[in-house]
């Protein structure tokens, strides 16, 4: 008989029925079903399972077996400890069901575990003789008890682990058992490396993929959670083995690996869509950390505010920020937002030597060929976000996953570190200036996309492949693909392109002449090879005279009247480039290849005189040599002209420039 203090009287009411005053045994949680059966009988209601009890006062929550008040945890634990050992399967089932509910209470869990009750549950699992419903209650109760952290997961036997894995691997098994078993295995994997190794031996990727294909959403979720736990717990080699150990990496597996990749990458979306907050001290410290890591600055503590601001602005400009007085504005665009700050900070801290080398190499240049680190980093981060599709929900049919993702915990950051150095290399290969920024970024995007499409399985492979795919190789690939495309085009399409070609060439000619009419600033190279003087050259509006003359630093576009010297176009005899230029012959053997590739000259007045140029970039070189050849009635031959013509010919007819239609 229960002690009198464990018995309480409660009133239960229902609209349209007489209230009932009943006695409740607070120790026995099985009292709730009894109360419901009694009430439905008294009130002549069908089926006790169709009704629920609800508190009438205070927070009107529903009452279940797991929330009925209980004062005797020790007594309850003792009763259930005995109940799960009963020879009556019905009593065992009810006791285990109740145990699963009350085990969420840590005080009860301590009482039950102190009686070694959890070992009884382990034995039930290892024996595996119980019916599916009893086994489900057993596993659920075990999971609830273990979640309190009172007992270490590492105390479990190999027999128990094999039994749990067997439930997951079984082709015919109760789904409730499999759901709890997957959750138990996930906790094991996350708890210790030794348990991860045991689980890895028992669970195959094929079986997890099978569970990801079922219609039961809860089972899918548990299987995905276990797969993610195994990948998180694995080292690089183990992670690759998990992915590549499958004997049938088919469409279904590819889809779920793609989903897993998208889910994890999308954790970066919040940073990608958050602009820098100039009032956030942590973000400001990260920003100034980039500056301090790049330059050996004196202590700023003794500087005046004005001097400190001036120093910071100067160094942020060298870092390549567009808004050097307020660099946070560069990071206000979303995407990439704070993610760009994260990638720059990661590069500076993870690879400090490479970071310093990049910044110092470009900040010391004075020939407009410097590659701006910050501006490039922000754009590169955006490109990587677009390539990896960060922020996009997983497609129901997607299967384009990157094996490299599963070989690296911080894929975006590590890819950035490789690609920002690639960008600097490509910038130099293209002899780019600030005007060529977008062109360089297009090439870098192509280098990354082409390399990732080859499915490299490690960062080292990616690094080797992407660096081998230099600018020269990109141009060769483009040319090969264009020729292949032309070979496969239908005759009418080829005829249309041939018909459009003269009109497009004329459009490019006019563009070149317009650029010459606007004019360009050039530097003179003295005998000491110092670029210490500036001069300007432009074509007259009627395209008959070249005007040129010396100008001062920072001069805006001078008028034709301000340029004292001139050469009639009719007197120009020839255009030569590179080592054939008179000013290159004078310093034969002393000029580097970069200068040679930017040099051109025009000869006039029976070739006795020449006007010598050094272009500031390959783009200006192509524009001027093409334009001068047009003036002389010759064909344009620069790589820039060929590239532009290819782009225009590749456009659909409805997107062709209006002048060509």
What is the DSSP track for 63-91? E-TTTS--S-HHHHHHHHHHHTT-S-HHH
**How confident is the model over 476-491, as a mean pLDDT?**
73
Between these two residues, 346 and 508, which has the higher pLDDT value? 346
Q: Grade residue 66 by pLDDT with cuts at 50, 70 and 90.
A: very low
Say whether pLDDT at 63 is over 90: no
What is the reported pLDDT for 302? Answer: 63
Q: With 90 as the cut, is the pLDDT of residue 529 above it?
A: no
Which pLDDT tens digit goes with each residue over 163-205? 999 999 888 778 899 999 999 999 998 888 889 889 888 887 7
In this predicted structure, the answer to whether residue 659 has a pLDDT above a threshold of 70 is no
Q: How far apart are CA 357 and CA 108, in angstroms?
A: 62
Place of tokens 């959403």: 217
pLDDT tens per residue, range 404-453: 887 777 889 999 999 999 999 999 888 888 888 999 999 999 999 999 99
Q: What is the C-alpha end-to-end distance of the chain, expressed in Å?
A: 101
pLDDT at 486: 63
Cα–Cα distance for residue pair 202/186, rounded to 1 Å: 13
**What structural domains and CATH numbers belong to the chain?**
7-43 (no CATH), 87-259 (1.25.10.10), 272-295+304-481 (no CATH), 513-650 (2.30.29.30)
Alpha-carbon distances of 316 from 284, 319, 593, rounded to whole Å = 13, 5, 31
pLDDT in tens, 554-597: 667 888 998 989 999 999 999 999 888 888 877 665 667 778 88
Strand order in the sheet with 545-551: 520-525, 531-539, 545-551, 565-568
Q: What is the pLDDT of residues 630-639, one digit of tens each?
A: 999 998 888 8
User: Whole-model pTM?
Assistant: 0.55
* Mean pLDDT taken over the chain: 82
Angle at 645 between CA 644 and CA 651, to 5 degrees: 95
Q: Is the confidence at residue 238, as pLDDT, over 90?
A: no
Residue whose tokens read 């001036």: 310
- Binned at pLDDT 50, 70 and 90, residue 244 comes out as low
Q: How far apart are CA 222 and CA 179, in angstroms?
A: 6
Burial of 290 (0-12, 13-18, 19+ CB in 10 A): buried
DSSP 299: P
* Angstrom distance (rounded) from CA 335 to CA 328: 14
Upstream peptide bond of 335 is cis (omega within 30 degrees of 0): yes
């Amino acid at each position: 008989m229960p002690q009198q203090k464990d018995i309480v009287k409660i009133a239960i009411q229902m609209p349209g029925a007489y209230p009932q005053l009943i006695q409740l045994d607070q120790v026995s949680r099985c009292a709730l079903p009894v109360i419901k059966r009694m009430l439905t009988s008294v009130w002549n209601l069908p089926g006790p399972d169709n009704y629920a009890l609800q508190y009438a006062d205070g927070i009107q929550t529903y009452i279940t077996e797991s929330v009925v008040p209980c004062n005797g945890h020790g007594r309850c634990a003792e009763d259930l400890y005995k109940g799960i050992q009963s020879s009556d399967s019905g009593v065992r089932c009810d006791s285990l069901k109740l145990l699963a509910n009350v085990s969420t209470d840590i005080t009860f869990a301590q009482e039950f575990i102190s009686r070694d009750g959890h070992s009884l549950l382990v034995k039930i699992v290892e024996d595996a003789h119980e019916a599916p419903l009893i086994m489900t209650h057993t596993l659920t109760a075990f999971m609830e008890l273990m979640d309190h952290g009172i007992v270490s997961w590492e105390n479990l036997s190999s027999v128990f682990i094999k039994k749990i894995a067997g439930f997951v691997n079984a082709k015919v098994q109760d789904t409730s058992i499999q759901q709890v078993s997957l959750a138990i295995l996930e906790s094991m994997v996350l708890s210790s490396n030794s348990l991860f190794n045991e689980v890895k031996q028992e669970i195959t990727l094929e079986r997890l993929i099978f569970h990801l294909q079922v219609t039961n959403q809860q089972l899918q979720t548990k299987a995905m959670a276990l797969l993610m736990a195994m990948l998180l717990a694995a080292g690089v080699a183990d992670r690759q083995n998990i992915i590549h150990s499958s004997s049938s990496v088919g469409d279904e597996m590819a889809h779920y690996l793609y989903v897993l990749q998208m889910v994890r990458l999308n954790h970066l979306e919040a940073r990608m869509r958050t602009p820098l907050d100039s009032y956030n001290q942590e973000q400001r410290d990260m920003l100034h950390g980039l500056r301090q890591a790049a330059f050996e600055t004196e202590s700023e503590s003794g500087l005046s505010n004005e001097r400190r601001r001036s120093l910071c602005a100067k160094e942020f400009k060298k870092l390549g920020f567009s808004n050097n007085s307020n660099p946070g504005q560069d990071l206000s665009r979303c995407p990439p937002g704070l993610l760009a700050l994260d990638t720059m900070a990661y590069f500076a801290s993870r690879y400090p030597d490479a970071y310093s080398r990049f910044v110092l190499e470009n900040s010391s240049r004075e020939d407009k060929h410097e590659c701006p680190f910050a501006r490039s980093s922000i754009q590169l981060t955006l490109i990587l976000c677009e390539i990896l599709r960060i922020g996009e929900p997983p497609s129901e049919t997607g299967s384009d996953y990157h094996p490299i993702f599963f070989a690296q915990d911080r894929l975006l950051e590590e890819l950035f570190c490789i690609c920002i150095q690639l960008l600097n290399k490509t910038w130099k290969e293209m002899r780019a200036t600030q005007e060529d920024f977008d062109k360089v970024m297009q090439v870098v995007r192509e280098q990354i996309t082409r390399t990732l499409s080859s499915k490299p399985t490690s960062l080292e492979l990616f690094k080797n492949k992407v660096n081998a795919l230099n600018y020269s190789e990109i141009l060769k690939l483009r040319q090969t693909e264009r020729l292949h495309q032309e070979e496969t085009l239908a005759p009418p399409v080829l005829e249309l392109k041939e018909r459009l070609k003269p009109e497009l060439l004329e459009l490019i000619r006019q563009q070149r002449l317009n650029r010459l009419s606007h004019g360009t600033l050039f530097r003179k190279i003295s005998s000491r090879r110092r670029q210490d003087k500036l001069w300007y050259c432009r074509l007259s509006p009627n395209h008959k005279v070249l005007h040129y003359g010396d100008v001062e630093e920072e001069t805006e576009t001078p008028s034709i009247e301000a340029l004292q010297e001139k050469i009639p176009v009719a007197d120009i005899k020839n255009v030569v480039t590179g080592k054939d230029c008179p000013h290159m012959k004078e310093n034969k053997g002393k000029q580097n290849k970069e200068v040679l590739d930017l040099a051109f000259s025009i000869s006039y007045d029976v070739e006795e005189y020449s006007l010598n140029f050094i272009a500031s970039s390959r783009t200006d070189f192509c524009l001027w040599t093409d334009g001068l050849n047009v003036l002389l009635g010759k064909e344009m031959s620069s790589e820039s002209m060929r590239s532009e013509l290819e782009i225009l010919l590749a456009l659909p007819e409805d997107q062709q420039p209006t002048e060509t239609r």
